[in-house]
Structure 1
């Protein structure tokens, strides 16, 4: 099958672009216009909450009023550590309404990583789920700007002597919307570092407008669709699904978390027509025994980037759901993709209208079609991409050098114009949809008094993504078991970053300059002497 001329979705694109001219591509404007247009139609559904388009506008105004009362002003950052609860979007909408920058944080963040994020963003207020507040208690808060804590939901009582603690409640009054501009930052999302600390991606208002336009177009979304996402709202994928619903007059149903056994039942229960999956979820669903109920739904299509080629057709035939591949990142947008009719096995798609993409060598020279290289991109429209990394000017310049965003991903562009993903060039690991910084994991492991050195690297998993492996060199005469090492890791890093495989070594392979040659460790991989926590029955707690 050949790619089409990329005319797909042009009617929807044109409609949304004309409805929201450039100065109006901000969330407060979108909320107000769609509230007038769709009124009492349901915009959001959580387990025990439904919110109409009109109510979403009112909630944003009341949430903004609460922020004002707390002394938060336009441009301030508010950290948000919360799972898929209605309060997450209440606060996100309030921040956008007030001109405040929301900083959604992965709920698994712990220790040094969490401290770095809070220090880097300079948030004076954190809204945190009551069940998660314990992560603040051991945190070294010296030097942080943090002053206030808002508790979300019910949980145990907590005492943080240096912080003002109060429950999060919507304001009684309605604040006027801040006159935000399309280039103003609406959110800072922290993405895994490669050989360094996590970086805060500054996402402008208009970036999410374009995320909504392009994703809705490729999913061939229609007014009245029901979108079901159980992906975490603190990631760009699920946050983007909210904008898709808002722009198209659809309903977003937010599930608490992905469940292999409950996924198709949730699609049926909510009447979902569109859904969202990550690459590893598809083989997980296929691993279950077939049942008569798994096609008893209305879902016609799912956004599912990174699904291994061998699983795509099997999944589509078994579950009756078409899968859409493509390419996007927190820093960019849905730059490469194709509609369902134009999907080709092994291809992410072609460059979307409004974007440019090239494959280049290490000197940024474009390579011929069929030649592997790094994918670099830029946008034609103002603020369709992120504007940089918060407080990290050097990293921003490095990533956007020569005025192109450098993805760190190795791809091939074929003569037909389609792009194929090969692998990551970065020293990063992707496990179950989460990006893991090997640097941050190494920092924790090497802080153990028995460890002299460590190298963290990815190895292939059964689910076609990565598993985390570490090679550890102990201090002279020190003793340490794999279980003891992981016991040390668990309270100090996200659960998904805790290594599965542990090798103890007398030395690590290095260059003449002393740099660890991780490719040699990756090539060696899991050996007979490697300890596997899953085989050993070691449990990592969430």
Structure 2
């Protein structure tokens, strides 16, 4: 705090953080958020994405790890954002570091933030002018963290193994802040690593971990690859959130670890958790994301009318953990809030016991293994390609991620481009997880009577084409290691054919 205050940074000022996962990232987040506004950014962003954020959000400083080669530094220097280097201590406790840079000898007010001040700002999807920026106050974060700690009955004897990225709300609140609020411990790993996961469980003795379903899939696959029984472990429960957990995966996790798997429902706008299945002996319902865990949860129709038990409509929420509204986006705020209720864009219903079931998404965003992706952002990039006349990005089902990215492309007359060239073009502008895994070349894109392109139903409409292209792109395992891994994944997922691109 002294380094930030000494550089003229204080309450209300925005500070970007681009750091690898680990204890330094966790401590940096806590320190910055306690004295200014913290904005963690994904280190995997492309140069153009860092350009957008650092030019648009009026940051007072960027914190990066010393000797880190990042496009964020170049973007910061271009836009006159001071760069502060973080130097981890090689001695002492985890998370100890020093900061250097931003030595402006300015005087700040050093006024402590209040509950209603913004502590964290995150984006919901995409990194262009259409991105929704979510400001979360100290009160929002503390309410959600306390709700999670209460739901999971955390105490000072608990120890969370964090394998989630600390630039996402799931890792920041679901793992870190919930533990800190309860006086518990957090093991801050460098991120999920299948080979290290079980040694971490054995040597670091965590009592729980939280992750997206994609990671749970990988844990099961690693367990089968090890081909040895799991010995005694310290886990009391496992938590899953950020996308739907298949019932089969939940059962296999419980069979492997012999502990309950708790599925929860969260969003960035609600400082993560909204509902959660309870711990035993209370009832857990497979297929449900559980009961309201602090905030109020209801179901509304399109006109904002509350619906009865069992009726399907839009899931809405209100409570102390919910953001007051997006930054500089009055249209989005009007659409997303109704009489104090936040409209999630998800569709579902409440049963007679108050358990929430999600039946689909009303919004167009693609949920790829917990990564929320804006289709329009990718549309605009592909439309810059000289061979492309029209393009529309949409979601396709994926066996492990839940959804993946696909695009239908109409070429300009006499123009030619391959799927690989389209993917490489996107890769030059956006992060890897936004690259379409399927590119379908079509004569025309379906449109409504008003001429508006229709994303809904495109996966089904182009399903045969995608299946044909999938077989064409299939690349069989070559080495013995690849064949072994493919066999394991085939058994775990119940999929007959697994290639090295899967």
- Distance, in Å, in 2 between the alignment partners of 1:133 and 1:439 is 26
The answer to whether the Cα contact below 8 Å between 2:270 and 2:322 also exists between their aligned partners in 1 is: yes
Which of the residues 183, 197, 200 maps onto 1:249?
183
Offset, 1:132 = 4.5
Kindly state the Cα deviation for residue 170 of structure 1 after the two structures are TM-superposed.
9.1
Kindly state the Cα deviation for residue 147 of structure 1 after the two structures are TM-superposed. 2.4
Contact 2:288 2:356 in 1 (8 A): yes
- Change over 3 Å in CA distance of 1:415–1:295 after alignment to 2: same
Q: Give the deviation of 1:320 after TM superposition.
A: 2.4
Match of 1:265 among 199, 219, 242: 199
Deviation at 1:123, TM superposition (A): 0.8
SS state of the match for residue 213, structure 2?
Answer: coil
The 1:170/1:237 distance shift into structure 2, 3 A limit, reads farther
**2: CA distance, partners of 1:195 / 1:70:** 29
Change (3 A) 1:506 1:168: farther
Residue of structure 1 aligned with 2:269, choices 331, 335, 344 = 331
Q: Distance in 2 between matches of 1:177 and 1:532?
A: 61
Q: Tell whether the 8 Å contact from 1:336 to 1:351 is kept in structure 2 after alignment.
A: yes
Given that 1:502 and 1:531 are in contact with CA atoms closer than 8 Å, whether structure 2 keeps it comes out as no
TM norm structure 2: 0.83
- Structure 2 match to 1:358: 298
State how far apart, in whole Å, the 1-side matches of 2:388 and 2:447 are: 17
The 5-angstrom pairing of residues 24-63 of structure 1 reads none
Single out whichever of 230-239 and 340-349 deviates more from structure 2.
Answer: 340-349
- Note the 1:434-453 alignment, pairs <5 A: 434-453=371-390
Are residues 506 and 141 of structure 1, via their aligned partners in 2, closer, same or farther at CA, if it must alter by over 3 Å? farther
1:218 matches 2:159: no
In 1, are the aligned partners of 2:159 and 2:206 still within 8 Å (CA)? yes
> How far has the Cα of 1:177 moved from its partner?
6.6
Q: How far apart are residue 81 of structure 1 and its match?
A: 1.6
Relative distance call for 1:534 and 1:65 in structure 2 (3 A) is farther
In the other structure, the counterpart of 1:348 is 289
Q: Which runs of 5+ in 1 are unaligned?
A: 1-63, 155-166
Q: Which residue in the other structure is 1:500 paired with?
A: 437
- Runs of 4+ with >4 A deviation: 139-142, 170-173, 193-196, 531-534, 536-540
Q: What are the Cα deviations for residues 173-207 of structure 1, in whole angstroms up to 9, with x where unaligned? A: 9x997421111100101111599722111110011
Show the 5 A alignment for 1:405-444: 405-444=342-381
| Superposed displacement of residue 135, structure 1 | 5.0
Paired residues of 1:78 and 1:123 also in contact (CA < 8 A):
yes
SS at match of 1:317: helix
Q: Pick from 306, 315, 333: which aligns with 1:396?
A: 333
The structural deviation recorded for 1:461 is 0.8
Could you tell me how far 1:90 is from its partner in structure 2? 3.5
How many pairs does the alignment contain? 456
Aligned residue for 2:55? 119
For the residue of structure 2 that corresponds to 1:486, the secondary structure is helix
CA-based RMSD of the aligned residues comes to 2.9
